[in-house]
Amino acid sequence: MKQQVLKISIGIMTMLSLLSIECTTTNLAGATTETTNGLTGCILNSDNTPASHSIVKLLPVDYNPVYDNSEYQCDTTDSNGVYSFRGVDTGKYSVIARNTKELTSCLVRNIEIDQDTIQMAPEGILKKSGSLSASFSSENAVANGYVYIPGTDVYSTTGSESTVYLSDIPSGEYEEVIAVFKNGHANIARNPVVVNAGETSTVTFPLWKYSTDFILNTTSSGADVTGNVYDFPVLIRLNGNTFDFSEAQPDGSDVAFTNASNTMLPYTIERWDAERKVAEIWVTIDTVYGNNQTQSISMYWGNPSVQFQQSMTVFDTANGFQGVWHLGDSSNSKLADATDNGYNGISPDSASVKIDDGVIGLCRYFDGNDYITMPSTARSRLSFDEGSYYTVSAWVRLDAFDNASHCIVSKGFEQYYLRSTYISTNSASQIPLWEYVEFSETIKWQSLNTPVADKNWTLITGVRKGTEQKLYCNGVLVDSTADIWINTVSRNTSNDLYIGRFAAPVLLPLIEGHCYFKGAIDEVRILSKAQTPEWIKLSYMNQRSDDKLVIRRADSTTK
């Protein structure tokens, strides 16, 4: 192993020593000096005056300044800015010119030298040189390698520093920026890299082969949300029509997201099914701007050398998320809580719920005899004092219009719950009602309700803000005036959280039993804050099957 390292070190030192070779007037690529092949041209300053005393190099278009050991020709422009080369082999070349005093440069590419001709090159215009940076902080694959621009003398070695800088680059557009590392090489320019005069350009995630942008449209043509929404988990859906799953790792572990400032964004994969070619990913955006259609985020994939850890901060308890259950888990023995509280659910074998296609990935289907419970949550962060601020929501599809009540999610009949019911303070309803109830020791049951429109997916959201109480359906406020049910029973906070039934049989005002749910439930959330109307609407507009928030930019880029 020591001999191998020594050979690699000597090889790199030998290659780098070639860079000190002075300009030569000999031919390139082994041609003889007897040939009449040649090139002449003119270099101008940015004000179109002759750029005298500029150093001009003639390089093959695929020239590698570290590896190639062939000599190159160079010349110095005369008082008219003219340079010339003789004894040049046929082929394609680049001319790179620099004024080291003014820090200006230019590059003329794809000059073809024919047999027995003196070729006239296009004029070169000197402009301020630019630079390029590429951060390899997410991987160490390029340690002790180098990065270069083919056909130029621009390169930089890679060492312990995570960021590589290429300087003194002629302004222009570059389709290739090559990184050479231990196991090979890669073009880190997924799309043409533009280097502007006097500026530094940045290549983000340089070893990722593919990227695309997603626009967040909150204007009236999109999600139609006017106010800003903060710390919001945006749902990104992928399918075989919009994404080639063969380009990413089988589990999507090479996926990464950034904002417009190239800052990495926390994300978590709810589902990545390469065989079915579907995926759902949640990405945290610190601010989704209202009435905006220019905000975007970028997604990167196609790097087999990395494996990212998904972030628990997408559904961060610091942002109020106390329990989030996607309900797409493969096992009923652990229905994972997506927050770091770890309030994982179980579905007993005798009451096992089935997996079904949900509105967001997979969900659970309840047949009227099964349920999910979250053990040891009675005295947890899911238990709120009277007068607290909290939000409870779930996507539901009620399949039973049977004159019975059906519990969606509950912390107990005498604490808080969402359900469907036919019972109202006026009389028995002829159609089912969505109901959100908060129980207080003095007022007892405070009920908000609205009719169930159909057997389609509906996002039900209940919000408690001190003494205020609101019920939303599909992002729209439908009730904020509570019906009061008076009784002598006391508030009971001793129940664990249940999905699909109540913890104990309901005996008041009618004997209803456990109120097992019949239908599908998806994406249950409980937050220790009263979410805003904008947040609730944006959640619906983003999560509905025909997502109105996220648009994949048409000109997505790949290598």
- CATH number of the domain that 389 lies in? 2.60.120.200
Are 364 and 493 in a shared domain?
yes
User: Of 87, 105, 127, which marks where a domain is finished?
Assistant: 127
pLDDT digit string, tens, across residues 157-170? 887 677 899 999 99
| pLDDT for 11 | 39
Joined together, the tokens standing for residue 440 give 């207080």
How far apart (Å, rounded) are the C-alpha atoms in residues 457 and 474?
9
Given a cut of 60, whether residue 338 has pLDDT beyond it is yes
Are 404 and 505 in a shared domain?
yes
Kindly report which listed range (16-20, 163-167, 423-427, 435-439) carries the lowest average pLDDT score: 16-20
| pLDDT for 295 | 98
Q: Is residue 135 part of a domain?
A: yes
Are 176 and 230 in a shared domain?
no
Residue type present at position 145: G
Cα atoms in the Cβ-side hemisphere of radius 13 Å centred on 41: 29
| pLDDT for 222 | 98
| Burial (Cβ within 10 Å: 0-12, 13-18, ≥19) of residue 543 | buried
What number is the average pLDDT over the span 184-202? 90
Given a cut of 50, whether residue 488 has pLDDT beyond it is yes
Largest CA distance in the chain: 112
What number is the average pLDDT over the span 44-69? 95
Joined together, the tokens standing for residue 329 give 């888990």
Q: Is residue 261 part of a domain?
A: yes
What number is the average pLDDT over the span 522-549? 99
How far apart (Å, rounded) are the C-alpha atoms in residues 315 and 297?
19
Radius of gyration of the chain (CA): 33
Given a cut of 90, whether residue 311 has pLDDT beyond it is no
Given a cut of 70, whether residue 16 has pLDDT beyond it is no
Residue type present at position 143: A
- Residue 185 pairs with which residues in a beta bridge? 180
Residues 6+ apart with CB under 8 A from 1: none
Cα–Cα nearest to 130, from 147, 152, 106, 109: 106
Given a cut of 60, whether residue 177 has pLDDT beyond it is yes
Beta-strand relationship, 550-552 and 124-125: unpaired
Q: Is residue 540 part of a domain?
A: no
- Residue 498 pairs with which residues in a beta bridge? 373, 410
Residue type present at position 71: E
Give 370-387 as a DSSP string. Answer: --EEETT-TTSTT---TT
Residues 6+ apart with CB under 8 A from 15: 66, 67, 69
| pLDDT for 5 | 31
User: Of 188, 207, 226, which marks where a domain is finished?
Assistant: 207
How far apart (Å, rounded) are the C-alpha atoms in residues 406 and 537?
25
Cα–Cα nearest to 249, from 211, 310, 306, 328: 306
Cα–Cα nearest to 302, from 213, 212, 239: 212
Are 43 and 180 in a shared domain?
no
Q: Is residue 28 part of a domain?
A: yes
Are 467 and 332 in a shared domain?
yes
- Residue 94 pairs with which residues in a beta bridge? 59
Given a cut of 60, whether residue 504 has pLDDT beyond it is yes
Cα–Cα nearest to 448, from 431, 457, 460, 430: 460
Q: To which H or E segment does residue 83 belong? A: strand 82-86
Omega before 509 cis (within 30°)?
yes
How far apart (Å, rounded) are the C-alpha atoms in residues 145 and 180?
6
pLDDT tier at 427, thresholds 50, 70, 90? low
Q: Is residue 340 part of a domain?
A: yes
pLDDT digit string, tens, across residues 112-155? 998 888 999 999 999 999 999 998 765 555 667 899 999 999 99
pLDDT tier at 306, thresholds 50, 70, 90? confident
Are 269 and 368 in a shared domain?
no
pLDDT tier at 70, thresholds 50, 70, 90? confident
How far apart (Å, rounded) are the C-alpha atoms in residues 501 and 405?
10
Instruction: Say how many Å lie between the first and final Cα of the chain, rounded.
Output: 35
Q: Is residue 331 part of a domain?
A: yes
Are 334 and 464 in a shared domain?
yes
Joined together, the tokens standing for residue 356 give 């079904």
Are 221 and 308 in a shared domain?
yes
How far apart (Å, rounded) are the C-alpha atoms in residues 298 and 395?
28
**What average pLDDT is seen over the chain?**
90
Contact 359, 458 (CB under 8 A): no
What number is the average pLDDT over the span 508-524? 96
What number is the average pLDDT over the span 5-25? 35
Give 257-326 as a DSSP string. Answer: EE-TT--B--EEEEEEETTTTEEEEEEEEEEEPTT-S--EEEEEE--TT--PPPPTTTT-GGGTEEEEE-
Q: Is residue 535 part of a domain?
A: no
| pLDDT for 17 | 36
Are 342 and 450 in a shared domain?
yes
What number is the average pLDDT over the span 410-426? 94
| pLDDT for 28 | 41
| pLDDT for 34 | 45
- DSSP single-letter state for residue 349: G
pLDDT tier at 514, thresholds 50, 70, 90? very high
| pLDDT for 140 | 56
Contact 153, 118 (CB under 8 A): no
| pLDDT for 557 | 52
Number of H helices, E strands in the chain: 2, 41
Given a cut of 90, whether residue 354 has pLDDT beyond it is yes
User: Of 75, 110, 127, which marks where a domain is finished?
Assistant: 127
What number is the average pLDDT over the span 227-247? 97
The CATH number for 140's domain is 2.60.40
Beta-strand relationship, 130-135 and 200-203: parallel
How far apart (Å, rounded) are the C-alpha atoms in residues 315 and 318?
9
| pLDDT for 7 | 32
Which residues form the domain of 511?
321-528
Are 327 and 468 in a shared domain?
yes
| pLDDT for 152 | 96
What number is the average pLDDT over the span 420-438? 89
> What is the domain count for the chain?
4
Across the beta sheet with 278-288, what order do the strands follow? 229-239, 278-288, 267-273
Are 355 and 409 in a shared domain?
yes
Are 146 and 281 in a shared domain?
no
Q: Is residue 141 part of a domain?
A: yes
Cα–Cα nearest to 152, from 203, 197, 98, 94: 94
Joined together, the tokens standing for residue 297 give 């985020």
pLDDT tier at 399, thresholds 50, 70, 90? very high
- DSSP single-letter state for residue 246: G
| pLDDT for 143 | 67
What number is the average pLDDT over the span 176-204? 89
Beta strands in 143-243 (DSSP E): 146-148, 155-157, 163-169, 172-174, 178-181, 184-187, 193-195, 200-203, 210-216, 229-239
Alpha-carbon distance values, 542 to 34, 224, 379, 474 (Å): 71, 11, 33, 11
Residue type present at position 67: Y
